Chains A and B, each alone.
Chain A
Amino acid sequence: MEIRRDIFQAIADPTRRAIVVLIALQAMTPNALAEHFNTSRQAVSKHIKILTECDLVKQEQQGREIYYSLEIEKMKEIDIWLDQFRKIWEIRFNQLDNVLSKMKKQKK
């Protein structure tokens, strides 16, 4: 079964948000990352797996170590979504502005 994942799923979990913040600063190995959390390494790996599936994290092999880093471009999707959402409310409120000015005139 294939589950479609997206960026909003990626950041829905507090641990994953923390991982995103950490690797945004610098690329990190799984061990270095796990040290920041009280949960097991397995739990952290599971979160990294989800982040990778959401295309938010890329991994690079350097020598014997794997380093995780953040796909900054992908983070922009959140802004795009928010923009659309903003636009809707703008349209709606502009209509309300018109209704209000009509109501004002009727009152007079």
Chain B
Amino acid sequence: MKKDLLFDLTVDKTKQTVTITREFDAELPLVWDAFTKQEFLDQWVAPKPFTSRTKYMDFKVGGKRFFAMVSPEGQERWMIQEYKSITPKTNFQLFNAFADEDENPQLPGSEWDYNFSEQHGKTKVVISIYNESLTRMERLIEMGFKEGMAATLDNLDELLATASAK
């Protein structure tokens, strides 16, 4: 990672929100595309050796992205996201939930809020993730870490396994 780029992650338990801030060494339109276009998203949201496979993505309010995190063994974990609001190159919000392969969401999910701003050619992205139940989220993440099972946030369990295998 480039050392001079800001990275911050905080958990606010009273607001049941995780906030992640990261700076990128690129202009805003590029970063916006990387977060909102299928062909770019699939290149980075899944940490190697996992891959992201998007079945469809319709980036508009009310539109959905249905995708899977695929393990090296070919195991798929499906997720569905629905876009709740979009302010081009500034902000978008989505609802994220695990799903089965027939697109049925497994509730409760989480609400994601993405904010973009550019300064001196660098783009700052602030992601707030609100969970109806932070306890549940934490427990599931912990479970994922220990037993490689379920997680509520994205592909967190797979990611944890990758991180702990190092």
Contact = CB atoms under 8 A, between A and B. Distances in A.
Q: Is the interface of B mostly helix, strand, loop or mixed?
A: helix
A104 B27 CA distance: 9
Nearest to B155: A88
Contacts of B138: 8, 81
Given A9-B139, A99-B40, A90 B1 contact: yes
Interface in A12-63: 12, 14, 17
Contacts, number: 90
Interface residues of A, number: 30
Given A8-B138, A86-B9, A87-B159, 15 more contacts: A6-B142, A8-B139, A8-B142, A9-B139, A84-B145, A85-B141, A88-B47, A93-B7, A96-B34, A96-B44, A97-B1, A97-B24, A99-B43, A103-B30, A103-B33
Interface of B: 1-2, 5, 7, 9, 11, 13-14, 18, 20, 22, 24-26, 30-31, 33-34, 40, 43-45, 47-48, 134-135, 138-139, 141-142, 145, 156, 159-160, 162-164
Interface of A: 6, 8-9, 11-12, 14, 17, 81-82, 84-101, 103-104, 107
